[in-house]
Structures are given as C-alpha cells and as structure tokens.
C-alpha cells in the first residue's frame, strides 16, 4: 500500500515555536559507485503537492516531474554531495551526514530546525529531529528525497558516458547482476567505492 506523507511533523515544529524548517534526506548509500547525494527542502504547508511520496515508490518520470514542481514551490531547496574519495575515507554514514550538512548549508534561507530521515545529523548548530522512515511519512523529507534522487540519477547518467560498459545509467551504481558482471570483466574504476566489500574483494585478486 502506498503511503502518502503529511505535514504532521512540520506542524509539530510550528507548535514548538519554529517557523522555518527543512526536510533532509540522502540517496545512494547502498551503491557500489558514485557519490552520495542529499537534498534539503523548505516546503510551505500550502505547496499543494499531493503526489509527493517516498521516491522509491515513484517511476523515473514521476520523480522528474515532481522534482520540477518541488523546486518551483519550495521556499528554498538545495543539493549536497560527498565524493567517492570522501566515502572511502570517512565511511558511508559519515559521508552521508557530510552531504546532508552541505545541502542544509547551501539553502538560500537557513532553517531554524531540520527533520531528518532515520538519523540525527551530527555537527549541526540547529535542532534536528529524526523520523524513522521519514521519507514515507514526512512531506518535506519525501520532497528532499525526490530532488536528491533525481540529481544523483542525472550525475550517474553523465558518468555513463565517462565510464562506458558498466551500465551506470540503468542501475545508477547499485550492485545489480549487470553491474557485478561488468566489474568482473572490466574491473573497478576510480568512481567505485574501494571501501565496499565487493570492490575490495576485486581489488585484492
């Protein structure tokens, strides 16, 4: 069953005295290749975007159309990322936090608080409230997940041209059978995450 997120958590922030708040989410943590991305969105409660939901339940076409509407109607939105090198040095969770902080810091209007999907974001100077499965239940987090997913997919499409033969435009860097077969045939590239076990295994053979 498709769950449509609401503004329940945003309204709770208003009740607690906050007037400007952003939803934040990351995409690409489970991929074998490419950077991790994060989105941050300050979404007005009257944005009238009823089709927003968890980006994983949307088709590519639906995500792209919704991302355009979110960018049009958001009070402010931004994308942050962390590179493959940063992922390998910091570990994926810390790199995802870095991407989230970069997205928040890039907002044209700085929020007074943030709503985050699943994790407390360390190193923020403003309050952060984590919501388990926030991309399913919280409208501004779902919006952040959509714009981040679209931005990352566009980057993987671009990398397809630079690294042909891996099928990056199709699987977006995830460890699909096609991707794993290409890795065995062609070997890892500099956009593959060397700290991830499947890549590490190939490099050690």
Q: What is the pLDDT of residue 21?
A: 98
Q: What is the pLDDT of residue 204?
A: 85
Whether residue 154 contacts residue 134, with contact meaning beta carbons closer than 8 Å, is answered with: no
**Which tens digit of pLDDT belongs to each residue from 15-56?**
999 999 999 999 999 999 999 999 999 999 999 998 899 898
| Structural domains in the chain plus CATH codes | 8-161 (3.30.420.10)
Q: What is the DSSP string of 102-136?
A: HHHHT-SS--SEEEEESS--TT-SS-EEEETTHHH
What predicted TM-score, i.e. pTM, was given to this entire model? 0.96
Sequence-separated (6 or more) residues with CB below 8 Å from residue 173: 28, 31, 32, 33, 34, 156, 179
Q: What is the pLDDT of residue 139?
A: 97
Q: What is the pLDDT of residue 87?
A: 98
pLDDT along the chain (205 residues), means of 10: 89 98 97 98 94 91 96 98 98 98 98 97 97 96 98 97 96 96 96 96 86
Other Cβ atoms closer than 10 A to 56: 11
């Amino acid at each position: 069953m498709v769950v449509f997120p609401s503004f329940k958590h945003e309204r709770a922030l208003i009740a607690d005295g906050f007037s400007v708040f952003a939803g934040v989410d990351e995409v690409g943590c489970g991929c074998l290749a490419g950077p991790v991305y994060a989105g941050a969105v300050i979404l007005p409660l009257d944005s009238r975007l009823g089709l927003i939901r968890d980006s994983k339940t949307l088709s590519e076409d639906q995500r792209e159309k919704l991302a355009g509407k979110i960018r049009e109607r958001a009070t402010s939105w931004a994308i942050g990322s962390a590179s493959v090198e940063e992922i390998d040095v910091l570990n994926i969770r810390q790199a995802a936090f870095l991407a989230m902080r970069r997205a928040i810091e890039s907002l044209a209007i700085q929020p007074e608080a943030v709503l985050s999907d699943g994790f407390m974001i360390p190193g923020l100077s403003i309050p952060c409230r984590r919501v388990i499965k926030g991309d399913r239940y919280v409208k501004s987090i779902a919006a952040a997940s959509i714009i981040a997913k679209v931005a990352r997919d566009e980057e993987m499409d671009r990398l397809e041209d630079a690294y042909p033969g891996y099928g990056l435009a199709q699987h977006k860097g995830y460890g699909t059978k096609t991707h794993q077969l290409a890795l065995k045939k062609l070997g890892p590239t500099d956009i593959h995450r060397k700290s991830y076990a499947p890549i590490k295994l190939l490099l050690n053979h």
